[in-house]
């Protein structure tokens, strides 16, 4: 067994002491409860669901559902038609009240649920004496001896009706209540003593809690009783049915047409009475959605009860109040082999106890409203099950870490060079679009930001050159490495922090290696020699060998930094666009390959994380005729004689210390002195640069535009490439790669600042960071753990399944359509959410089949919607695209679309114009739908906005739908008509972008933004059709040996794909004739279709399948297809790839992800909706990195799995042997 995990093999006892308020042990000596807290877990208090009365709150404990979801809404069963009511005890026997079909409940409670009863049960007798301590002990003996020991039950619930009974009768502040608490305490002692006696203590977990608390009822004297008939305008005659005179809550069913009259009369009718129409109940109460709830719901302030005609309620104590009232909070204790000892935890909701119990029993929970996340910190295992290989999604902090800097490697240096090793690293790990270094973008300052997580103005290594303005002394780059006081300026580098927390560190040639920090040096270090050849590849390999073999393997270091001085050196000498720089990049790539090969050779790969990045980029220096050089002494009014000290002639930046009294003169002379020179007093530096606050910075700071350098007296700087420019300049951005056991694979992330790398490294090493300016929030999406440490008490992020979801398709929107058009709304969506590089649709890349893949998660050969055209080969009948939408049997072919699956699991779904909307599936239709009219104008922007309004206002807001699919027929129509490269297509993309802005604006307007996830994608892309002279058209009847007479049926003249049914005996003849008949035509027998296309197995597919190369279409007798743009080509063609964006509360922000197949969108949507998917061909594994939760559901008892859970389709959970004694709804009258 693995240490620190929950086996699921220990027994569990859930004990309830009804009405035991959280603070009842404060005014009574409770030695046994105190001992239980010392040996286990005590919560400050727990919050029950509303309505805070017995049966509903107990059923929340047992099902993990809020009351509006489980449907046991009251202690009293009632029938509004007959006027019948059953009081508390008799309600226990009304099967349909408890077995409500809205959730499947934990076996071990109810008598008959979906025809199953508890295996071992004892029903509370009528008129049972809740206060009889002798009977209590007999119940404990039965549970421990007969049930747990002799019958070997796994789970038992045990109920005691006090101190609730005493609290009602005498009040919560009475001496009688205090005596009842002492009896509870003695019973708790007896429970534990009996467990010990029967040898159960080592394998029995015990949870003791209550359903609610208790408050004192105000009576007599100055109390203004709530008597409904005393309220002006209210009359019982206006009611069809009521539930009142039952404590502080009530429900009313007015007669037809009287709801508003009754509501208006009662609202404001008493200062301590709250009146709501059920649909307006506060959402936090989760007490509005169930059909059993009556139209008007009332509840009183603490201390008050609701009376009908006159006060007749005599209880001195009552519950049923708002669950935020402290008097309503129960207590909670837990002890046993799986719980921590002597742990005091904060408050949590009782809805979470169910998932805790499921975890302890090692069973999969039903759909529920709680989460193990809220209780896992109580457990020694932190909620990890022993049957999981390793805990899902946490960073151990035990893997080694190598940080490598290739100085001056710009973010785009791999674009004009073949870099197979860097490419492989990206496929096997994480690649950032680019990273933004701090300003000033030069070597030492930016490297120290990597090492400390501080901006340069905070860490104080402000330049490559150490200087002293008094002595006029300067030390060049190399000698500055040895000036301790320059580097040791208050910010500790990660080497020292790691060493102080027990890690062993090393550094080879990294800037800052030579210095001493707070009297500590790096444990293992090698300082770069003077005049070192930064370009020597042999020396590079020797460095790698030293790090991998001697330092990581032999000396067992935990963290190493490794520095290479190229391609910076080459970029300076030859320029970033030179062939020499490209050769240097190839050398870097070879070295990356050697690094990974060496890690593998020395057995490090499985426990070594590698981050490779750079300090800055490189820009070409402008030279020669036409370039207006920046020479300070050429600027009128400026003189070097006015300076006490200067740092210029060092690339594009400089600092000046004017002589006393000369600051304004120098500033005014230089400001505006050259069009490409920026001059600031340091206090006025742009705040975004974080380069103004440090005392080492001189009073005037200068920097030039990219391409320019700052010269003092004359031009003598000879570099062809330079850095040190504004960090917003793209040429200054470095690259970033990361790979290893803690990183996702094949993940492309958006840009971030290098200041964040420090907190990422601290997390990977499992060390506490120093104060820094970055955040793990900006990099955690790279990690399998999503930034959760295995030793942390809290799991980061989970998907609730409660947010709404909107799926939008803009037909034919190719992945790169935003590249030649300004798309501010799409850009904003990417910044605020997730953007995929592109997505790959299934083959055949046409509208109906690809959309049905989105809806079902099946490849086309599996879902059977194989074409836009329905056909019958016997009758020769064909239906074109629009009419095919109405052929039920074509769509309803065994694969359920997500609309129906969601509806069957309690969600409300809608669809507007989406392909497949019109059909019926297994006799079910979409609950709310609007089918696209025939001959619909796809390009009408006014109509588009009306559709958005309908979805957001009428469907999501007013009808409270959970999932809607919305279809727009553009830019497909425009792409077909004018071609994908046309100005018309670009205009249409602008219209799409405006619509996306309107979608988000409308979501905001209707209060949906915080609970609506939006996925926007397309079905396929678009390619230009080759036409005119020089194009060898594909005309089947022109191919020698082929004749249409040999065919029984055909589907051609429909773009670049076709299918043929030869007459009997003619298959081979037709196949041989067509095969090789045209250089741009692919011909397959369907069984020989490439497996990657997933387009061969369905019986609807005809025996011969044809498709053309990109740009060609297949004609039958003659050329009549006149589209300028077409789709339907091989899905590997880049022109066929659609775009993908996603935004909303469950998605990461500013995340750029790599490509994936659209077959995976279905499982992502199911996860977002919290529903169990049907069998499908995709996987949440391919999209989970987009999610804040990393694909973990809040209602899962443990890890994230693959969303195969969910509603079990009417079957109860099969769990260990269970029993219940005196627990609510354990009986069933036969």
Q: Report the catalytic residues.
A: 847
What the block records as the tokens of 1006 is 């209707």
Question: Can you tell me which residue has the tokens 């589209």?
Answer: 1123
CB 800 within 8 A of CB 433: no
Q: Comparing C-alpha atoms, which of 766, 630, 803 is closest to residue 708?
A: 630
CB 111 within 8 A of CB 1228: yes
Q: How far apart are CA 1160 and CA 645, in angstroms?
A: 63
- Determine the distance from the C-alpha atom of residue 979 to the mean position of all C-alpha atoms in its chain, rounded to a whole number: 37
CB 184 within 8 A of CB 164: no
Nearest-5° angle of CA 20, CA 24, CA 26? Answer: 160
Q: Give 844-890 as a DSSP string.
A: S-SHHHHHHHHHH---HHHH----SSEEETTTTEEE-HHHHTT-HHH
Instruction: Work out the number of other CB atoms within 10 angstroms of the CB of residue 1068.
Output: 10
Q: What is the DSSP letter of 133?
A: H
Q: Comparing C-alpha atoms, which of 428, 465, 427 is closest to residue 696?
A: 465
Q: What is the DSSP letter of 662?
A: -
Q: How far apart are CA 612 and CA 430, in angstroms?
A: 10
What the block records as the tokens of 299 is 């509840």
CB 912 within 8 A of CB 906: no
Give me the count of residues in the chain. 1230
Q: How far apart are CA 1184 and CA 936, in angstroms?
A: 37
CB 288 within 8 A of CB 279: yes
Rg for the chain, CA atoms, rounded: 36
The CA-based dihedral angle spanning residues 306, 308, 312, 315, taken in that order and rounded to the nearest 10 degrees? -20
Q: How far apart are CA 641 and CA 320, in angstroms?
A: 84
Parallel/antiparallel/unpaired status of strands 204-209 and 11-17? parallel
Label residues 1024-1062 b or e (16+ Cβ within 10 Å = b). bbbbeeeeebbebeebeebeeebbebbbbbbbbbbbbbb
3 state SS for 1192-1223:
CECCCCCCCCCCCCCCCCCCCCCCCCEEEECC
Q: How far apart are CA 613 and CA 547, in angstroms?
A: 17
CB 1163 within 8 A of CB 1176: yes
Q: How far apart are CA 367 and CA 390, in angstroms?
A: 24
The CA-based dihedral angle spanning residues 74, 76, 78, 83, taken in that order and rounded to the nearest 10 degrees? -130
Q: Phi and psi for 577 in degrees, rounded to 5?
A: -100, 10
Instruction: Work out the number of other CB atoms within 10 angstroms of the CB of residue 129.
Output: 13
CB 725 within 8 A of CB 710: no
Distances (CA, A) of 795 to 78, 255, 349, 929: 42, 50, 17, 39
Q: How far apart are CA 605 and CA 588, in angstroms?
A: 20
Q: Give 994-1033 as a DSSP string.
A: HHHHHHHHHHHHTT-GGGEEEEEE-S---EEPP-STT---
Q: How far apart are CA 1228 and CA 121, in angstroms?
A: 11
Q: Is 308 left (phi over 0), alpha (psi -120 to 50) or beta?
A: alpha
């Amino acid at each position: 067994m693995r240490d620190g995990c929950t086996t699921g093999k220990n027994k569990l006892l859930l004990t309830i002491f009804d009405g035991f308020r959280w603070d009842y042990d404060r005014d009574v000596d409770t030695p046994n409860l105190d001992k239980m807290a010392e040996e286990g877990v005590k919560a400050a208090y727990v919050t029950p669901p509303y309505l805070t009365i017995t049966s509903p709150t107990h059923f929340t404990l047992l099902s993990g559902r809020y009351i509006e979801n489980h449907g046991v809404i009251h202690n009293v069963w009632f029938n509004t038609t007959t006027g019948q009511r059953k009081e508390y005890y008799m309600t226990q026997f009304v099967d349909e009240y408890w077995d409500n079909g809205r959730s499947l409940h934990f076996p071990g409670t109810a008598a008959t649920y979906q025809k199953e009863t508890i295996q071992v049960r004892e029903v509370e007798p009528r008129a049972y004496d809740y206060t009889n301590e002798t009977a209590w002990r007999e119940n404990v003996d039965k549970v421990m001896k007969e049930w747990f020991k002799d019958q070997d039950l796994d789970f038992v619930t045990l109920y005691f009706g006090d101190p609730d009974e005493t609290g009602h009768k005498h009040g919560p502040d009475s001496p009688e209540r205090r005596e009842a608490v002492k009896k509870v305490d003695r019973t708790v002692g007896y429970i534990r003593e009996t467990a010990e006696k029967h040898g159960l203590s080592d394998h029995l977990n015990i949870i003791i809690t209550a359903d609610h608390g208790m408050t004192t009822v105000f009576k007599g004297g100055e109390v203004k009783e709530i008597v409904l008939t005393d309220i002006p305008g209210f009359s019982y005659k206006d009611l069809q049915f009521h539930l009142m005179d039952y404590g502080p809550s009530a429900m009313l069913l007015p007669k037809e047409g009287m709801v508003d009259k009754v509501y208006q009369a009662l609202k404001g009718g008493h200062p301590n009475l709250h009146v709501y129409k059920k649909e307006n109940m506060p959402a936090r109460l989760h007490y509005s959605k169930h059909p059993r709830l009556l139209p008007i719901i009332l509840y009183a302030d603490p201390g008050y009860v609701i009376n009908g005609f006159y006060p007749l309620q005599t209880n001195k104590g009552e519950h049923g109040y708002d669950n935020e009232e402290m008097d309503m909070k129960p207590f909670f204790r837990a002890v046993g082999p799986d719980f921590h000892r002597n742990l005091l935890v904060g408050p949590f909701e009782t809805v979470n106890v169910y998932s805790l119990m499921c975890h302890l029993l090692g069973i999969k929970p039903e759909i529920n409203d709680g989460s193990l996340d809220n209780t896992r910190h109580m457990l020694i295992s932190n909620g990890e099950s022993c049957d999981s290989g390793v805990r899902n999604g946490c960073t151990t902090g035990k893997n080694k870490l190598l940080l490598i800097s290739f100085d001056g490697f710009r973010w785009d240096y791999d674009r004009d060079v073949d870099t197979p090793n860097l490419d492989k690293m990206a496929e096997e790990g994480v690649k950032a679009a680019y990273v933004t270094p701090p300003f000033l973008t030069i070597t030492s300052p930016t490297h120290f930001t990597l090492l400390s997580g501080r901006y340069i103005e905070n860490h104080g290594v402000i330049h490559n050159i150490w200087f002293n303005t008094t002595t006029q002394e300067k030390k060049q780059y190399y000698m500055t490495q040895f000036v301790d006081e320059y580097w040791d300026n208050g910010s500790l580098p990660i080497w020292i922090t790691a060493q102080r927390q027990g890690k062993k560190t090393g550094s080879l040639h990294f800037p800052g290696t030579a210095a001493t920090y707070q009297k500590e040096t790096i444990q293992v270090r090698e300082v770069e020699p003077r005049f070192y050849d930064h370009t020597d590849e042999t020396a590079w390999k020797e460095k790698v060998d030293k790090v991998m073999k001697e330092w990581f393997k032999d000396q067992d270091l935990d963290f190493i930094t490794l520095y290479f001085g190229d391609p910076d050196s080459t970029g300076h000498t030859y320029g970033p666009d030179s062939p020499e720089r490209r050769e240097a990049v190839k050398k870097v790539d070879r070295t990356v390959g050697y690094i990974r090969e060496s890690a593998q050779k020395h057995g490090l790969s499985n426990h070594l994380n590698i981050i490779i990045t750079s300090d800055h980029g490189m820009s070409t220096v402008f030279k020669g005729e036409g370039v207006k050089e920046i020479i300070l002494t050429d600027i009128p009014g400026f003189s070097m004689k006015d300076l006490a000290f200067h740092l210029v002639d060092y690339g594009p930046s400089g600092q000046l210390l004017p002589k006393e009294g000369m600051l304004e003169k120098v500033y005014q002379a230089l400001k505006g002195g050259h069009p490409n020179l920026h001059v600031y007093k340091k206090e006025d530096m742009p705040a975004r640069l974080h380069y103004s606050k440090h005392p080492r910075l001189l009073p005037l700071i200068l920097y030039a535009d990219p391409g320019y350098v700052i010269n003092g007296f004359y031009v003598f700087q000879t570099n062809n490439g330079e850095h040190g420019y504004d960090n917003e300049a793209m040429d200054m951005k470095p690259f970033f790669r990361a790979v290893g056991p803690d990183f996702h694979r094949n993940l492309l992330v958006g840009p971030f600042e290098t200041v964040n790398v420090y907190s990422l490294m601290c997390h990977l090493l499992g060390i506490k960071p120093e104060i820094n300016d970055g955040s793990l929030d900006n990099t955690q999406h790279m990690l399998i753990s999503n930034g959760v440490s295995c030793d942390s008490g809290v799991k980061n992020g989970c998907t609730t399944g409660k947010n709404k979801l909107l799926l939008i398709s803009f037909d034919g929107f190719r992945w790169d359509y935003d590249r030649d058009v300004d798309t501010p709304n799409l850009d904003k969506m990417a910044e605020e959410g997730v953007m995929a590089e592109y997505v790959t649709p299934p083959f055949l890349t046409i509208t109906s089949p690809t959309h049905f893949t989105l809806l079902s998660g099946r490849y086309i050969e599996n879902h059977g919607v194989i074409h836009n055209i329905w056909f019958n080969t016997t009758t020769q009948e064909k239906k074109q695209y629009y009419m095919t939408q109405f052929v039920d049997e074509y769509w309803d072919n065994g694969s359920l679309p997500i609309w129906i699956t969601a509806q069957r699991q309690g969600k409300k779904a809608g669809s507007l114009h989406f392909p497949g909307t019109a059909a019926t599936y297994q006799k079910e239709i979409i609950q709310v739908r609007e089918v696209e009219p025939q001959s619909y104008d796809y390009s009408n922007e006014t109509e588009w906005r009306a559709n958005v309004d309908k979805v957001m206002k009428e469907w999501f807001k007013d009808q409270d739908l959970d999932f809607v699919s919305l279809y727009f027929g553009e830019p497909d129509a425009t792409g077909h008509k004018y071609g994908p490269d046309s100005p018309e297509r670009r205009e249409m993309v602008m219209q799409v972008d405006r619509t996306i802005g309107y979608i988000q604006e409308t979501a905001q307007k209707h209060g949906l933004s915080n609970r609506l996830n939006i996925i926007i994608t397309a079905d396929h892309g678009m390619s230009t059709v080759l036409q005119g002279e020089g194009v060898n058209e594909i005309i089947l009847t022109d191919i020698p040996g082929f004749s249409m007479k040999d065919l029984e049926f055909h589907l051609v003249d429909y773009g670049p794909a076709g299918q043929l049914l030869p007459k009997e005996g003619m298959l081979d003849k037709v196949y041989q004739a067509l095969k090789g008949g045209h250089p741009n035509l692919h011909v397959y027998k369907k069984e020989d279709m490439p497996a990657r296309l997933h387009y061969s197995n369905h019986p609807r597919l005809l025996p011969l399948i044809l498709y053309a190369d990109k740009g060609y279409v297949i004609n039958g007798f003659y050329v009549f297809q006149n589209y300028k743009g077409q789709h339907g080509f091989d899905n590997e063609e880049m022109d066929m790839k659609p775009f993908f964006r996603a935004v909303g509360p469950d998605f990461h922000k500013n995340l750029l992800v790599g490509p994936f197949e659209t077959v995976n969108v279905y499982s992502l949507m199911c996860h977002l909706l919290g529903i169990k998917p049907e069998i499908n061909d995709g996987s949440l594994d391919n999209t989970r990195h987009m999610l804040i939760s990393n694909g973990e559901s809040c209602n899962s008892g443990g890890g994230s799995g693959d969303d195969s859970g969910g509603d079990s389709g009417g079957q109860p959970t099969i769990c260990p042997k269970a029993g219940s004694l005196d627990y609510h709804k354990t009986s069933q009258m036969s």
